[in-house]
Chain A
Amino acid sequence: MELKDDDAGLMLRYRDGDAAAFAALYAHYKDPLYRYLLRHVRNACAAADLFQEVWSHLIATRARYEPRAKFATFLFHIAHNCAIDFFRRDLNLRRVMPVHESESPLLEAEVPEHQRPDRVAEFVEQQSALLAAVAALPQEQREAFLLREETGLNIEEIARITDVPIETAKSRLRYAVRKLKNSLRPMQEPEALRLRTYA
């Protein structure tokens, strides 16, 4: 997907009161942002909440917007922070919820839907082998890969979004690509075998 630099100009227009500029930005970024969140947090309900949270944050802070980077970097940095908060809340919830208590019918309803093992399994089953492999990546590698695929941003911009050195971002992306390539091999090998058999 090609991201335009003049999106920062649209954001400036929205900052100055042009609501139509926001509509243009939204139309351009809503799908990649939604997919990034959905495949990063691996839960549709949580992704929808985060999606709304990201745009609400952008709307609320528009008066302070200054185009110091590409608009995509700005937007996905907000998304990254929202996702980090989500994972932190998720981790805290699991810490205060001992395993034996989670079996209690009373507390079961309080466990977020996306944490239920049956839901996670269902989510993975619905995906292709590649998306299942993406979902199985470590969180940081998954994010680096999704940012690259959904925004087309380069390593420097991905590093900026995720607040890490460039080498770290590059390393994460490298590991992610290697694991995903490996996940594709079982799909490709039968095809190769079939071709060899016919030959």
Chain B
Amino acid sequence: MPDETDELDEYLRGGSDVSCEYQRQPAPAPPHELDRLVLESAGSLKSKTPFKPQSLAPFALAASLLLSLALMLAMVFGPQVKKPDDKAQVVRVRIFKSEPPRATPASPRERNPALWLQDINALRRAGRSNEADAEMRRFRSAYPDYIIPISE
């Protein structure tokens, strides 16, 4: 047993031929690819450090605040103009084959040409010729193709 203890003590002191022989052996090192992987994962290779979104957080906050402020100012002080309708405008074109467009009659009575003519005749009989003529011009513009009976 004392020999064994001396053997171990000698080894621990560094004087053992085992230790000397071991230290003389070739010393393999990890492949460079491993170095790169480990250092990258530790964040020690700055050029290839993974992108950290949290580093842009202050810029994102500032941009959000600016955008909010701009929107508020636009709502308060901006021109109150109604935006043109974005929808495509449909233009309806009506083609009149027999009758051209005419003025819309003013009253329910004027919508009936016979009654309108009776009113005009009544004005004429009452001596209100100017008014009767004016009404007749309106009648003509409303019913240009209406055939007025001879009696009227």
Chain A residues in contact with chain B, CB under 8 A?
Answer: 14, 19-20, 22-23, 26, 30-31, 34-35, 38, 48, 51-52, 55-56, 59, 128, 130-131, 134, 148-149, 154-155, 170, 173-174, 177-178, 180-181, 184
Interface residues of B in 2-40 (CB under 8 A from A): 4, 7-8, 11-12, 16-19, 21-23, 25, 27-31, 34-35, 37-39
B29 engages A181 (CB within 8 Å): no
Nearest residue, chain B, Cβ from A181: B18
Given A55-B42, A184-B17, CB of A149 within 8 Å of CB of B22: yes
4 extra interface residue pairs, beta carbon distance < 8 Å, beyond A174-B4, A181-B17: A31-B30, A38-B28, A174-B7, A178-B7
Query: Chain B contacts of A52 at CB under 8 A?
Result: 34, 37-38
Residue B64 at the chain A interface, CB threshold 8 Å: no
Query: Chain B contacts of A130 at CB under 8 A?
Result: 18, 21-22, 25
Q: Main secondary structure on chain A at its contact with chain B?
A: helix
Q: How far is the CB of A149 from chain B (nearest CB, A)?
A: 5
Given A173-B8, A177-B7, A181-B18, CB of A55 within 8 Å of CB of B25: no
Query: Chain A contacts of B44 at CB under 8 A?
Result: 19-20, 22-23, 26
A131 engages B18 (CB within 8 Å): no
Residue B43 at the chain A interface, CB threshold 8 Å: yes
Query: Chain A contacts of B7 at CB under 8 A?
Result: 174, 177-178, 181
Residue B41 at the chain A interface, CB threshold 8 Å: yes
Nearest residue, chain B, Cβ from A55: B38
